[in-house]
Structure formats: C-alpha cells, structure tokens
A and B are shown apart, each in its own frame.
Chain A
C-alpha cells in the first residue's frame, strides 16, 4: 500500500481556509453593504463604499501616499541592500556567513522593538535632538515621527534584511569569473558593474523589489508607529476604520482597494520590464 503523504496537507488547508479565505471572503462581501454605524450594516447590496473610496479625496490621498512611501522604501532598500548583498556574496572567508546570520537574526526581531529604537533616537527630546540643539546645529527639535520620511525609513528598516537576503542569492549565481573576464578585457570596476553585474542582477532586483514593495504596501506596525497618527497608509487606515470608526464595510472596501492595487502594480511592472527585454539572455 502506498503511503498517502498528501493527507498531511489537509489540516493546513482547513486552517488556512477558515482563517484566511473564509474570513476574507466575508470581509470583502461586507464591502458591498452600507455601514449604518455602530458596526451594523444594511441589507441592500450596492457599490456606495467603492464610490466613496474613489471620489473622497482623503481615501485617494491615502492610496497615493501608500504607493509613494512603498515605492520610495523599495528604492531605498534596494540601494542600501545591494552593496551589502554583493560584498557578503563575494566574501571568501567565514565572515560572510557570520554577517549573513547577523542580518537574518536582526531581520526577524519584531519590528515593534526596532521601531521603538528609532523613536527613542529621533523623538523631540531624544538624545539626537538634544545633542543637535546643545551643539547649536538646530534651534527646534527635528523629528521624523509623524512624517512621510519617517514612515519610509521605518518601512526600509522593516524590509532591508529581506532585500539583502534576496539579492545575496542573486549575486551568488553570478560567477566571479565574469567579473574577471570583464576587467581583463578592459572594463573598469564601474563599467564592469554597469555592463555585467547590474544586468545579470536585474531579474533578482525585479523580484526582490516587488517583494519589498508588496511588504511595504501591507506593512502596518512600522507605518502606524512612525506615522504617529499623522501619516496614514491604507493598512493603518483600515485598522483605524475597524477599531475606531467601527465601519466594517468601509474597511472591507479599503482592503479590496489595497489588494487590487498591489496586484495591478505587480502585473504592470512585470509587463513593462518584459517589454524592456533587459534580461533576455539571462532568462533564455
């Protein structure tokens, strides 16, 4: 008799179905019914929530800010993590593994703790501002908390480790001999980077970039804590709509908007990159 290992999938499937698929379906279904206040919804199926989401300036601004901070954080994360990933991937000694382990460990420290680190350093009476003012460099405290810059930094902090890990595995697939071949045939380090490393990393940069972007679009903790109640991204607004305004239907609508926006942006990016054919030889 053959062993039916596939039966082991059933518990996970039930768990996922009930907690994710079922709850989300109910949540999204609710988005088509009007909120009546205090958590009650009407029985009438309509699109009024969606109409509001796409006409109310506040919701549109929130969507725009979410996309903007996510895109900026993605760029920042790629720019910061690529050199780190490159250096670690090219290390011959065991230091490479030690550094990589350090990045993995620090990546999986909860973002709450990490963001509080940022808050301590950057708050109005944190040591950074006190030092700056004591030195006479600034008169008034400068804080990133409650600013879009702050949210971008928080999101980068959240995604940096994932960026390094993804790009590390990409650089590792590029044989070192290609760098040597470029250099001995006359390319400077910079030219070598532009002509060899960057194009060969493109599939990884796209995959890693989209992953980071998607994480940012859905990030709640870092956006909420560094937004400080002043900067709203969609996940923060959804939480607020549920917990403070008790408008389940509107929250469901916003969740649907977020989901569709993320999917659309991903599909569009891939289509654009396909057209650019940046990586034909690599994918062939």
Chain B
C-alpha cells in the first residue's frame, strides 16, 4: 500500500495537451476516482501511474519512489482493464497467478494464493475453466483477483464495470469497494459515471479538458462545486446567469432580472469576477403561490412550462425569464396543483445556491 503523488506532471501529444500540469496527492489506502467525460485526461492520468506512458514534464511518485521513466513491469502495480484483458489461452488459475509466476513464486505457493483469491471474489471452483466459459460478471471478478494477487502497491481500474448491465454494475460497485476496503489497497478508479464515482470513492477528482477542476469527497463536489463544469457534470443543476456579485457581511448579493438574490458564502470561497452564474440543485427549490411574500428566502416569479412525474419526484420546469427555465424537484403529492401555464414563485434558502465563474 502506497501513496501516489503527481508533481507538475504534464502529458503532451504533439501540440495537443492531454494533461495540464497536475499536482495530486493520493493517500495510502485511499479509493480515488478520476471522473470526467471522454477525453478529459482521466485515462491519461491513470496510464501515467501504470507507466504505459511517461510524462512530458514533471514526475510521478509511488510511495516515496520517483517512478518517472520506470517501465510498468517494475512498478508493482495491479490493474483491471475495461475489457478485463484476461488471457484467453490460460485457465482462471493461470490468469490469477500470472503476476505470481512472473515474480517467481513456487507452483504450490501460487496455487494456495489463487484459492484464497477465488474465495475473496466468491468464485470457488472455476480455477480449471477458461475465461470464455465464464459470464461477464465472473470475468470481472477474475480480473480483480489477478490484479491484487501479488499485493500490488497500487490498484488501477479503468472503467471496469462499463461492460456490465445496470443491476450487476450496482452490486459490483459495492463488492469492489468491499474488496478494496478489506485489502486496504490504494486504488485509482477511472469512470465517466458520476453515480458510480459517488457510490465508491473516498475522494473524487473531477477532470475536464486535461485539467483537474476539483478534488473532494462526494459531498464536497456535489454540495460545494468550485467550477461551473463540476456543478454541471455532477448531478442535476440549474445554472442561471446573474449580475456580478458584491460581498456584504457574510453574504454575497447578486441579482437576476431586477430581483435581488442573496447567496451564502462558505469561508474561503472566491467570488466570480468576470461573468457570474448562480447554481442551485433542483431539490433545493420550492414552488409557492405567486402572491407569497418573501420571508428571508430568495424568490423569483415565473410560469410553469410542464410538470413531469418521474416516480419519486415531479420534475417541474418553470420559465423565470426570457429563454431561461429552471427545474424544480417537487413532491409527487403536489402534482394536482401544478399545471402548465400557472403563475408561481420559486424560492430557496441563500445557503442553497452557489456562485460560479461562467
């Protein structure tokens, strides 16, 4: 188990910069997820740790060892691939024992270890079979067992659940997380699925266009996004272009279409200086009758465009200005009172919103 550190690591391909200078400390035993859309640099970051590629500038450390320039064979890493990359011509036992055999372990030691691992991933009895004789979920477990067989310093996972169906994916998320906790192994996980990231991670690093935009716990990146991209990428959000804010004792004050809006300010929060947007999650918004008097909350008036029942909530779209609609999650019991064309007011607490640079 080792920490992993990036020091000003950059990766360029010709004139294209896949990874802007990255400083990142991944703690010992931590489950860190690199989250972002395709092409954001998350896979590049993972492959820099693996040693499949080398940084154009800067350094990568595993533990206290600078591994820049060291080939993948000598890094003491385990990895689970997107397509599992199990060796089709080897039995499950040979697959799981691959790293052990390369390390020079005796046949007996390998066998014992493989049995333990099959127990860990709950796949006893398949050691004589070939990968093609297993289901996708079983192959996934074999891939995990192979990756941790030699107790690597770091475990890398590159979208390992992408090929599984939704139900299996959810149970595997929990299972992978349990295995990781049991082993206490430092894990770097790549995904573009924010739910998966939030389900599994100690911390999430959100990446966009080669830049790590924010790193923090699931709660932090969801409740306190620091950039518009993070706010937009994680969960659902309403982004409303507002006036440039001014700071007054503990609050920021901004405006939309002449209405004053108060925004709570977390300590250390930097206010936008060029163009501001206000972000509010749909579940933080309430719909009240149009003639309600504001009572310590922000309030904007608008007209319901449509209300859609989606099961646990009603998604209400309200037009609050020219070409500006916001979505509110409302309780299903309110459905009869909400119909298209109604004039309503939308309210929220000052601390529920956050100001971001557009």
Q: Is the CB of B103 within 8 A of A186?
A: yes
Can you name 5 A-B residue pairings with CB atoms under 8 Å? A180-B79, A182-B87, A184-B50, A191-B102, A200-B88
**Chain B residue contacts of A200, Cβ below 8 A:** 88-89
Docked Cα-Cα span, A200 to B91, in Å, equals 14
Return the CB mask of B74-114 against A: 1 if under 8 Å, else 0. 01011101110111111100000011001100000000000
Q: Taking the complex as formed, is B38 at the interface, i.e. its CB lies under 8 A from any CB of chain A?
A: no
> Given A177, A180, A195, A284, which contacts B133 in the complex, CB threshold below 8 Å?
A284
Indicate if the CB atoms of A184 and B77 lie closer than 8 Å: yes
Interface string of B314-357 (1 = CB under 8 A from A): 00000000000000000000000000000000000000000000
Is the Cβ of A279 less than 8 Å from the Cβ of B78? no
Given B52, B78, B98, B103, which contacts A182 in the complex, CB threshold below 8 Å? B98
B130 contacts A181, C-beta separation under 8 Å: no
Assess the A177–B89 pair: CB atoms within 8 A: no
Q: Which residue of A lies closest to B88 (CB)?
A: A281
Chain B residues whose C-beta falls within 8 Å of the C-beta of A284 in the assembled complex? 130, 132-133
A195 CA to B98 CA, complexed, in Å: 10
Q: Which A residues touch B90, using CB under 8 A? A: 281
B42 touches A (CB below 8 Å) = no
CB atoms of A181 and B102 under 8 A apart: no
Contacts A184-B51, A185-B150, A281-B87 aside, 7 further interface pairs with beta carbons under 8 A come to: A181-B81, A182-B98, A184-B73, A185-B78, A191-B102, A200-B89, A284-B133
Taking the closest CB of chain B, its distance from the CB of A204, in whole angstroms, is 13
For residue B103, which residue of chain A has the nearest CB? A186
Contact string against B for A residues 259-283, beta-carbon threshold 8 Å, 1 for contact and 0 otherwise: 0000000000000000000011110
B102:A185 contact, CB within 8 angstroms: yes
Q: Find out whether the CB atom of A185 lies under 8 angstroms from the CB atom of B98.
A: yes
Residues of A within 8 A of B85 (CB): 175, 177-178, 180-181
Rounded to whole Å, the gap between the CB of A214 and the closest CB of chain B is 26
Residues of B in contact (CB 8 Å), total 32
Residues of A164-192 contacting chain B, CB below 8 A: 175, 177-178, 180-188, 191
Cβ–Cβ < 8 Å partners of B146 in chain A: 181, 185
Residue of B79, B89, B103, B132 touching A181 (CB-CB under 8 A): B79
Partner of A184, one of B79, B82, B131: B79
What distance in Å separates the Cβ of B67 from its nearest Cβ neighbour in chain A? 12
Q: Is B71 an interface residue (CB 8 A)?
A: yes
B88 CB → nearest A CB, Å: 5
The answer, among B50, B81, B88, B103, for a CB contact under 8 Å with A282, is B88
> Is A53 engaged at the interface, CB distance under 8 Å to the other chain?
no
Residues of B within 8 A of A65 (CB): none
Is A128 in the interface zone, CB < 8 Å from B?
Answer: no
Residue on A nearest B47 in the bound complex, by CB: A180
Give chain A residues whose Cβ lies under 8 Å from the Cβ of B72: 180, 183-184
Q: Is A199 an interface residue, CB under 8 A from the partner?
A: yes
Q: Does A257 contact B (CB under 8 A)?
A: no
Most-contacted residue by chain B among A185, A188, A191, A281 (CB, 10 A): A185
User: Nearest Cβ in chain A — how far from B289, in angstroms?
Assistant: 59
Given A281-B130, A284-B132, A284-B133, A188-B73 contact (CB < 8 Å) = yes
Query: Is A196 on the interface with B (CB-CB < 8 A)?
Result: yes
| Residues on the A chain within 8 Å of B98, using CB | 181-182, 185-187, 195
CA distance in complex: A199, B94 (Å): 14
Residues of chain B within 8 A of A175, CB atoms compared:
83, 85
Question: Whole-angstrom distance from the CB of B91 to the nearest CB of chain A?
Answer: 7
> Given that A182-B98, A186-B103, A187-B73 are contacting pairs, would A279 and B81 also be in contact in the complex, using a CB cutoff of 8 Å?
no
B117 to chain A, nearest CB (A): 13
Decide if B130 touches A177 in the complex (CB within 8 Å).
no
Contacts of A282 on B, CB cut-off 8 Å? Answer: 88-89
Scoring B79, B87, B147 by chain A CB atoms within 10 A of each residue's CB, the highest score goes to: B87
How far, in Å, is A140 (CB) from chain B's closest CB? 50
B87 near A196 (CB under 8 angstroms)?
A: yes
Residues of A within 8 A of B156 (CB): 184
| Per-residue A-contact encoding for B153-191, CB less than 8 Å = 1, 0 else | 000100000000000000000000000000000000000
